[in-house]
Amino acid sequence: MQALPTRWRTSSRWWLSAAAAVALAGSAWAGENAVDAAKLTALVLQDCGSCHGMTLKGGLGKPLTAEQLEHWDSEQIAHIILEGVPGTPMPPWKPLLSEAEARWIADHLKKGTLR
């Protein structure tokens, strides 16, 4: 893997966007009950699916099946969703997703229940 380009590192602008997204998400901080499961399921299958495959079996991005994620815990997966993987095309989703939403997605990927 090549050296991590500095432009990938989080800039203050993205922190502001993230803060705005969190503010908009509002009650998402309240936890599981506050997330919109239908919206997040659609996001994972359709938008994550553009790289990871709509059946989550992989594409330009790695497979995200429960089997594939066996050795990762939900917290690590949520961290990758929010922060991205520098030096790869995996973007940080925190401008668009709250921590609660990322955690919800991570939990459901682990369980293999998104379809």
Residues that bind other proteins in the complex, under the rule CB under 8 A: 2, 5, 7-8, 11, 13-14, 46-47, 49-51, 53-55, 57-60, 84, 87-89, 91-93, 95-96
Is 86 or 110 the residue whose CB approaches other proteins more closely? 86
Is 6 or 33 the residue whose CB approaches other proteins more closely? 6
Is 14 or 29 the residue whose CB approaches other proteins more closely? 14
- Concatenated DSSP letters of 18-76: HHHHHHHHGGGGG-GGGS-HHHHHHIIIIIIHHHH-TTSS-SSSPP--TTTTTTS-HHH
CB of 58 to other proteins, least distance (A): 6
Q: Decide: 22 and 100 in contact? Cβ < 8 Å.
A: no
Is 59 or 112 the residue whose CB approaches other proteins more closely? 59
CB of 101 to other proteins, least distance (A): 14
CB of 74 to other proteins, least distance (A): 22
Q: Decide: 17 and 96 in contact? Cβ < 8 Å.
A: no
Sign for the CA dihedral angle at 37, 24, 28, 94 comes to positive
Cα–Cα distance, 10 to 87 (Å, whole number): 13
CB of 91 to other proteins, least distance (A): 3
